[in-house]
């Protein structure tokens, strides 16, 4: 067990880009489907956590080629069209529910296979019987170590290679059904019917939508049978972007409810209507007082107006109930959460665990933990907030929250601990085993910490090929800053002027053409891009020899600089409103003219020969010496390293080392 972690309350509003990992449910489904596809699939923004690594390792032990790059969050899988190379294997699924169920049904597709499967202590107790029984109907044998029919891990699975017409009792977990659904297209003529009710429609829906995304839509007939009308291997996807984990995102929707007013957190890639049912949490949060708005590719969550009491049915997105239950500690009245009975059989008995820990911090819950312990059928929880009681309990020091090897217990109470309960920054919550977040969100606590601190503006200036763009891009990604490349502004405007017939040496013509142009900006990922009359050119259009040759003369025109200056200065406000942790703007006059009051100002240098070599290596025809001379000798806004800016010569310094240095200045300015 890892050492306990004391949570530091936020003294400043939370702000920045939440580093939410990819969805576990989507990543693990995509891995299984990709292995059953014909050819290679590249998964981007994938989750790297214990559960996905277990599945990756299992696929490798079955003979699949899987390569991954954790740094850039990609996984490449070579699918074999339904063939499973290893006829025998010994697989340990840890406590990974999706891996356990999905693999078991997947293995059934192997004719004459014999596989030894086991899970850890907690997994051995989790529901599996429904799936094993269904597979018996497919001619598979699942045998327990004592030789009898297995109802859970560990077991030996002897496989038939086909499914047939199956019935499954998936009332204990929808994963039992999803596992079979993903295997269906590979076994022509097969069907699956449910006995009893399923608990999580949205996950079944996610499975069906993903089967369709990979080219094998399933149908669900009126008589209840699922089947694949056009069976066969899945179609490999050249690139498949995994959605951010909607459950993990819920902690960042909740955070601005517990941190000081003025909080503003950005969650990239999050959208309602995605594959994950848990995005419905956003609507519940809004009913409680959350302020959430769509902003480009993602949402921005601002300080909640309040945490309102209420009665909520979280049955369809129950993984998020722990987020609501902990935020409810600060509500203005009782919060009732219903429909969560099935979570009592998940990583731990979550309803009991939540009740026990809320009582530990001083709150009354109904039913009380003692009643829950006596009655396994109770399926709801009402939280009765009481700040005074919480203060009394924590007055002796932080309360240690037990986590029951449940990542969601650690994360939800970790979020609540960010609240400044005493108003003086004193910590009041300590998480018993913080590393248990490794199951889905290994970096959860550092992702929380990344949202502490003041808004910081970074000005990066320097000559051509001095590393401004690479440094700024990497800094933005590391710290959640909005990245504004003003060189691209001058290039975009130069291209627009050239296209309209204006010449760089014709002052009057440039002024006339400018008066008819309209500038606007849009955000993709972390980058703000300029559009002229609604058109944002591609990077290659901005770096043609024609633009390279004209841009510095165009940029020397006072009218051109005036046209862009207001737009550039407005970016700081746009970054603030967009929930970014700050702004990094690069160019020639950022620290001198555009943002002379920026908290961090950097001037990058590299010797001329090195810069020439860099451009040549990029295969570009670019008169950089000439541009540098024009840029530093022009009358308006010449390129200068102003007093107070930090000069960094990176001739011999790698990009990471430069970014480390600048990031340290930003951390100091942000007060982190
Ligand atoms: O990438 P590289 O450093 O070669 O150039 P850039 O940053 O794309 O900038 C292209 C040109 O725009 C520069 O040579 C300057 O003439 C002009 N520029 C400027 O005058 N002021 C800025 N803040 C940014 C760029
Ligand atoms: O934006 P700017 O023109 O100042 O330069 P850049 O496009 O970021 O970098 C130009 C080239 O220098 C790129 O190929 C970078 O990979 C390389 N570079 C480097 O070798 N070492 C650095 N510290 C920064 C950039």
Cα–Cα dist 126/266, whole Å = 36
- Going from the Cα of 587 to the center of ligand 2, the distance in angstroms, rounded, reads 13
Whether residue 544 is found in the same domain as residue 611: yes
Buried b (16+ CB within 10 A) or exposed e, 624-641: beebbebbeebeebebbb
Percent of the chain topping pLDDT 70:
100
Cα–Cα dist 271/293, whole Å = 10
- Choosing from 214, 241, 268, the residue where a domain stops is 241
Q: What is the mean pLDDT of residues 185-205?
A: 88
Give the length of the chain: 672
Domain range holding 577? 456-670
- List, in order, residues 6 or more apart from 275 with CB less than 8 Å away: 23, 26, 206, 209, 210, 243
Bridge partners of 245, per DSSP, are none
Tell me whether strands 74-80 and 37-44 are parallel, antiparallel or unpaired.
Answer: antiparallel
Contact 117, 93 (CB under 8 A): yes
Whether residue 261 is found in the same domain as residue 234: no
Bridge partners of 583, per DSSP, are 457, 482
Q: What is the mean pLDDT of residues 273-296?
A: 93
Q: Within 10 A of 610 (CB to CB), how many other CB atoms are there?
A: 16
Identify which of 439, 434, 353, 445 has the alpha carbon closest to the alpha carbon of residue 25.
439
Contact 162, 116 (CB under 8 A): no
Whether residue 229 is found in the same domain as residue 269: no
> What domain count does the chain have?
3
pLDDT 10s digits, 531-563: 999 999 999 999 999 999 999 999 999 999 999
Least confident of 81-85, 178-182, 457-461, 613-617: 613-617
Q: Token pair for residue 151?
A: 């109802």
Cα three-residue angle 381-385-390, rounded to 5 degrees: 115
Contact 6, 401 (CB under 8 A): no
Closest ligand 2 atom to residue 604 Cα is: 4
Whether residue 567 is found in the same domain as residue 475: yes
Q: Is 620 in the pocket of ligand 2 (CB under 6 A)?
A: no
pLDDT 10s digits, 209-253: 999 999 999 999 998 999 999 999 999 999 998 999 999 999 999
User: How buried is residue 30: exposed, middle or buried, by Cβ count under 10 Å (0-12/13-18/19+)?
Assistant: buried
Q: Token pair for residue 258?
A: 């517990």
CATH (domain of 120)? 3.65.10.10
End-to-end CA distance of the chain: 28
Closest ligand 1 atom to residue 589 Cα is: 23
666 has pLDDT over 80: yes
Determine which residue's CA is closest to atom 10 belonging to ligand 2: 465
Q: Minimum-distance ligand to the CA of 604?
A: 2
| CA dist 47 → 28, 50, 69, 245, 300 (Å) | 9, 9, 11, 9, 22
pLDDT 10s digits, 380-399: 999 999 999 999 999 999 99
Active-site residue among 278, 319, 406, 461? 319
75 has pLDDT over 80: yes
482 has pLDDT over 80: yes
* Gyration radius from the chain CA atoms: 28
Whether residue 397 is found in the same domain as residue 505: no
Q: Minimum-distance ligand to the CA of 603?
A: 2
Active site residue 295: no
Whether residue 16 is found in the same domain as residue 61: no
Contact 391, 330 (CB under 8 A): no
pLDDT band at 459, cuts 50/70/90? very high
Whether residue 608 is found in the same domain as residue 637: yes
Whether residue 256 is found in the same domain as residue 348: yes
- Going from the Cα of 666 to the center of ligand 2, the distance in angstroms, rounded, reads 21
Cα–Cα dist 327/106, whole Å = 39
For residue 199, the model assigns a pLDDT of: 61
Q: Minimum-distance ligand to the CA of 651?
A: 2
* Mean pLDDT score of the chain: 95
Ligand 1 site-directed mutation target among 461, 472, 484, 487, most atoms within 8 Å of CB? 487
- Going from the Cα of 487 to the center of ligand 1, the distance in angstroms, rounded, reads 4
For residue 616, the model assigns a pLDDT of: 86
The SS3 call for residue 99 is: helix
Q: Which residue has the higher pLDDT, 419 or 504?
A: 419
Q: Is 491 in the pocket of ligand 1 (CB under 6 A)?
A: yes
Whether residue 495 is found in the same domain as residue 599: yes
**Can you say whether the dihedral through the CA atoms of 572, 578, 583, 588 is positive or negative?**
negative
Contact 471, 541 (CB under 8 A): no
Q: Is 552 in the pocket of ligand 1 (CB under 6 A)?
A: yes
Three-class HEC string of 427-492 = CCEEECCHHHHHHCCCCHHHHHHCCCCCCEEEEEEECCCCCHHHHHHHHHHHHCEEEEEHHHHHHH
Half-sphere exposure of 617 (CA within 13 A, CB side): 7
For residue 573, the model assigns a pLDDT of: 95
Cα–Cα dist 46/86, whole Å = 26
What torsion, rounded to 10 degrees, do the Cα atoms 64, 81, 73, 246 define?
Answer: -120
Q: What is the mean pLDDT of residues 280-295?
A: 96
- Choosing from 388, 416, 449, the residue where a domain stops is 449
Cα–Cα dist 605/615, whole Å = 14
622 has pLDDT over 80: no
- Choosing from 449, 483, 516, the residue where a domain stops is 449
pLDDT 10s digits, 332-391: 999 999 999 989 988 889 999 999 999 999 999 999 999 999 999 999 999 999 999 999
pLDDT band at 198, cuts 50/70/90? low
Determine which residue's CA is closest to atom 6 belonging to ligand 1: 487
pLDDT band at 14, cuts 50/70/90? very high
Least confident of 130-134, 156-160, 172-176: 172-176
Cα–Cα dist 592/572, whole Å = 16
Contact 373, 344 (CB under 8 A): no
- Going from the Cα of 349 to the center of ligand 2, the distance in angstroms, rounded, reads 53
620 has pLDDT over 90: no
Strand order in the sheet with 219-220: 165-169, 191-195, 225-227, 219-220
DSSP state of 639: -
Whether residue 460 is found in the same domain as residue 421: no
Whether residue 223 is found in the same domain as residue 253: no
CATH (domain of 590)? 3.40.50.300
For residue 347, the model assigns a pLDDT of: 80
Determine which residue's CA is closest to atom 18 belonging to ligand 1: 487
625 has pLDDT over 90: no
Ligand 1 site-directed mutation target among 541, 587, 624, most atoms within 8 Å of CB? 587
pLDDT 10s digits, 587-601: 999 999 999 999 999
Q: Minimum-distance ligand to the CA of 612?
A: 2
Whether residue 9 is found in the same domain as residue 33: no
Q: Which residue has the higher pLDDT, 321 or 624?
A: 321
Contact 436, 402 (CB under 8 A): no
């Amino acid at each position: 067990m890892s050492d306990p972690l004391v949570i530091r309350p936020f003294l400043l509003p939370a702000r920045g880009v939440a580093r939410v990992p990819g969805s576990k449910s989507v990543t693990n489904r995509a891995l299984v489907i990709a292995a059953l596809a014909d050819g290679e699939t590249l998964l981007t923004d994938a989750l790297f956590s214990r559960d996905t690594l277990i599945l990756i390792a299992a696929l490798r032990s079955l003979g699949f080629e899987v390569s991954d790059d954790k740094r850039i969050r990609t996984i490449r899988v070579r699918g074999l069209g339904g063939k499973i190379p290893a006829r025998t294997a010994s697989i340990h699924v840890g406590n990974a529910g999706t891996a356990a169920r999905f693999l078991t049904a997947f293995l059934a597709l192997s004719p004459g296979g014999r596989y030894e499967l086991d899970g850890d202590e907690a997994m051995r107790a989790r529901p599996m019987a429904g799936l094993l029984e269904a597979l018996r109907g497919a001619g598979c044998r699942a045998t327990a170590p004592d030789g009898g029919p297995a109802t859970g891990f560990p077991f030996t699975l002897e496989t038939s290679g086909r499914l047939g017409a199956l019935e499954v009792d998936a009332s204990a977990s929808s994963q039992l059904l999803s596992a079979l659904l993903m295997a269906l297209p590979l076994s022509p003529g097969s069907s699956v019917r449910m006995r009893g009710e399923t608990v999580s429609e949205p996950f079944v829906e996610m499975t069906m939508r993903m089967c369709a995304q990979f080219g094998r839509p399933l149908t669900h007939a009126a008589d209840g049978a699922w089947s694949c009308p056009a069976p066969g291997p899945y179609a490999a996807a050249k690139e498949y972007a995994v959605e951010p984990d909607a459950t993990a995102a819920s902690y960042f929707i909740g955070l601005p409810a517990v941190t000081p007013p003025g909080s503003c957190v950005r969650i990239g890639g999050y959208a309602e209507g995605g594959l994950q049912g848990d995005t419905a949490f956003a609507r519940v949060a809004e009913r409680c007082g959350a302020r959430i708005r769509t902003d480009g590719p993602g949402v921005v969550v601002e300080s909640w107006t309040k945490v309102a009491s209420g009665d909520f049915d979280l049955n369809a997105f129950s993984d998020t109930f722990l987020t609501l239950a902990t935020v409810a500690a600060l509500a203005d009245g009782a919060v009732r959460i219903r429909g969560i009975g099935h979570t009592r059989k998940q990583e731990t008995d979550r309803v009991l665990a939540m009740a026990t820990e809320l009582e530990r911090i001083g709150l009354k819950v109904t039913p009380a933990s003692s009643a829950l312990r006596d009655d396994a059928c109770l399926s709801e929880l009402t939280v009765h907030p009481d700040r005074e009681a919480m203060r009394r309990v924590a007055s002796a020091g932080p309360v240690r929250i037990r986590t029951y090897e449940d990542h969601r217990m650690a994360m939800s109470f970790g979020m609540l601990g960010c609240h400044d309960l005493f108003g003086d920054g004193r910590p009041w919550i300590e998480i018993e085993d913080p590393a248990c977040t490794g199951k889905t969100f290994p970096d959860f606590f550092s992702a929380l910490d990344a949202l502490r601190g003041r808004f910081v503006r970074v000005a990066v200036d320097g000559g051509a090929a001095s590393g401004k763009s690479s440094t700024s891009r990497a800094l933005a990604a590391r710290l959640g800053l909005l990245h504004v490349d003003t060189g691209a502004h001058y290039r975009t405007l130069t291209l627009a002027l050239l296209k309209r017939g204006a010449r760089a040496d014709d002052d009057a013509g440039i002024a006339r053409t400018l008066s008819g142009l309209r500038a606007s900006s849009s955000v993709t990922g972390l980058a703000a891009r300029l559009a002229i009359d609604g058109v944002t050119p591609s990077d290659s259009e901005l770096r043609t020899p024609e633009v390279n040759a004209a841009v510095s003369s165009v940029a020397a025109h006072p009218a051109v600089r005036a046209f862009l200056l207001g737009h550039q200065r407005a970016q700081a406000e746009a970054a603030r409103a967009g929930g970014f942790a700050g702004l990094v703007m690069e160019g020639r006059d950022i620290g001198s003219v555009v943002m002379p009051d920026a908290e961090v100002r950097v001037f990058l240098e590299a010797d001329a020969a090195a810069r020439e070599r860099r451009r040549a290596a990029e295969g570009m025809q670019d008169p950089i010496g000439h541009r540098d001379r024009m840029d530093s000798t022009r009358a308006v806004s010449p390129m200068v390293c102003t007093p107070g800016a930090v000069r960094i010569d990176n001739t011999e310094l790698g990009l990471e080392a430069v970014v480390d240095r600048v990031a340290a200045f930003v951390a100091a300015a942000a007060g982190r």
